[in-house]
């Protein structure tokens, strides 16, 4: 049995589709039962079609998605999913939730302040050299 994707990142508040391929000899069912473990939010779940929904309030850094064979519960495959902050979350990982243009303006302002300080120091030093 294999699960795709074999590794994944999932953003909080988003969904991610998984598929399972069951292989065997003779008559066997290709159906699986999906399970998710390691989640801290009761709202993080996976449906019978392999659609993972990561809750917006999920606090786990990673969760495990497992497909278990309906015919043989001893046969399964798992994938570890890294849980990422949602776009726009107020977290250090994404700039505190600020858009890129705001971060650029802050950086430009910091550069202007640094330049003004450097010019002031230059003129103070020149004044004392006389």
CB of 81 closer than 8 Å to CB of 63:
yes
- Per-residue model confidence as pLDDT tens digits over 8-44: 999 999 999 999 998 877 778 889 999 999 999 999 9
CB of 33 closer than 8 Å to CB of 70:
yes
Residue ranges in the chain whose pLDDT is less than 50: 92-95
Query: For domain 2-88, which architecture applies?
Result: Sandwich (2.60)
Give the residue extent of every domain in the chain.
2-88, 98-129
Task: Give the pLDDT confidence score for residue 114 in this predicted structure.
Answer: 57
pTM equals 0.66
Task: Give the pLDDT confidence score for residue 94 in this predicted structure.
Answer: 46
Task: Give the pLDDT confidence score for residue 113 in this predicted structure.
Answer: 57
């Amino acid at each position: 049995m294999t699960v795709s994707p074999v590794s994944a990142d999932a953003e909080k508040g988003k969904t991610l589709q998984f598929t399972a391929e069951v292989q065997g000899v003779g008559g066997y069912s290709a159906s699986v039962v999906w399970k998710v473990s390691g989640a801290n939010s009761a709202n993080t779940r996976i449906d019978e079609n392999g659609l993972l929904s990561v809750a917006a309030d999920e606090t786990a850094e990673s969760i495990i998605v497992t497909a278990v064979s309906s015919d043989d519960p001893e046969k399964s495959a798992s994938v570890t999913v890294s849980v990422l902050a949602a776009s726009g979350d107020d977290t250090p990982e994404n700039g505190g939730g600020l858009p890129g243009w705001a971060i650029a303006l802050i950086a430009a302002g910091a550069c202007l302040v640094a330049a003004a300080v450097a010019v002031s120091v230059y003129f103070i030093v020149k004044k004392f050299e006389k």
